Structure 1
Amino acid sequence: MLVLVDPRDARAIRNKDNILGMYDLMINKRSPEEAAARFMASAYIQHNPLIPDGADALGKFFGQIIKDRARARVDVHKIIAVGDYVWSHVNFLNLFNDDPEDTGIAGVDIFRMDADGKAIEHWDVLQVVGTPKSAANWYAPNVPAANSNGMF
């Protein structure tokens, strides 16, 4: 994992550690409600139109995913923290299926953190991860990848 954070910025280090802890507890350790309560501000503002505002709503959203998807997990590939902001580049695997060959959804998450180190606001962009044989296996399975660089 690539980590970019000023080692002299204690706030940024704490915020980065909290977001890494949130991903791990929420998805990999399958405790989304606990993770939302611990790492999200109760007045959490969500910019992803699939999820309502509020820490409780985020916990419930991922609670349903964890219930429905035994293989759901997240791999963090890059994380950058500066002051009150944390950016992460992740691969969400098996969020929408339980296929053991799932290549996942690449995500760039942006979190604005409050003074207590809890996420108070979130934006994301998501992209289906392809393979060398398929640029986007869900919606363009017969379109070969134009390069071999990979998503991460």
Structure 2
Amino acid sequence: MTLYLKRLILMVSLVLAGSATAEPAIQARDTSIEEANRQLVLTFYDRFFNRHDIVQAAKVVADDYRQHNPGVPDGKAPLVDYFTGFFKSNPQSRARIVRSAADGDLVWLHVHSTNGKDDLGRAVLDIFRVKDGQIVEHWDVIQDVPGKSANPNTMF
């Protein structure tokens, strides 16, 4: 066997061995659970941010809810307290869900949030983690909707 062939066999063996151990196992998706999680979040979001029925909506929020928005504290009770005050000061606040998706235990919402008919609002990407029928974690990215855009596309 030539030196070249020995090296080639060694390289192929190393590549195959590395790919067998480096690849994570692919888990099958359970789309029925994903859809149930998406519906749970959609219902919560409408009750909470549109109807301002905070206490009823928060029944699906875990007591030890983890919040990644730096302006809102962790926990269900602090979440309810924070938004009770916010909605009292901002009764016209509404959030229109433009699109939603789920993957595993995560649910994404693309939202147009406004505070009255003359408010251009904000584009919001909310990400919720759901576990055992409860919202346990939340992240968001928020961007103001400008009066003028450099292109003809909307943010929605």
The normalised TM-score by structure 1 is: 0.79
Which of the numbers 86, 97, 110 marks the counterpart of 2:127? 110
In the alignment, does 2:42 pair up with 1:20?
Answer: yes
Unpaired stretches in structure 1, ≥5 consecutive residues:
1-7, 135-144
1:86·1:110 contact (CA, 8 Å) conserved in 2? yes
Which of the numbers 78, 101, 110 marks the counterpart of 2:118? 101
Superposed CA deviations along residues 66-95 of structure 1, whole A, max 9, x for unmatched, are 11112111100010011211011001111x
Which of the numbers 43, 46, 57 marks the counterpart of 1:35? 57
In the alignment, does 2:105 pair up with 1:88?
Answer: no
Which of the numbers 127, 133, 141 marks the counterpart of 2:143? 127
Which of the numbers 61, 76, 88 marks the counterpart of 1:67? 88
Q: State the shift of 1:33 in Å.
A: 2.4
Residues 41-60 of structure 1 mapped to structure 2, 5 A cutoff:
41-60=62-81
Other-structure match for 2:11: none
Unpaired stretches in structure 2, ≥5 consecutive residues:
1-29
Which of the numbers 147, 152, 155 marks the counterpart of 1:151? 155
Other-structure match for 2:25: none
Superposed CA deviations along residues 97-142 of structure 1, whole A, max 9, x for unmatched, are x4x310111110111111x2211111110000123xx3xxxxxxxx
Q: Report the count of equivalent residues.
A: 128
- Give structure 1 regions of 4+ aligned residues with deviation exceeding 6 angstroms: none
Q: 3-state DSSP class of the match of 1:20?
A: helix
Q: How many angstroms apart in 2 are the aligned matches of 1:44 and 1:89?
A: 21
Q: 3-state DSSP class of the match of 1:109?
A: strand
Q: How many angstroms apart in 2 are the aligned matches of 1:53 and 1:70?
A: 23
Q: State the shift of 1:63 in Å.
A: 1.2
1:33·1:60 contact (CA, 8 Å) conserved in 2? no
- The share of aligned pairs that are identical, in percent, is 39
Q: Tell me which protein shows more helix as a share of its residues.
A: 2
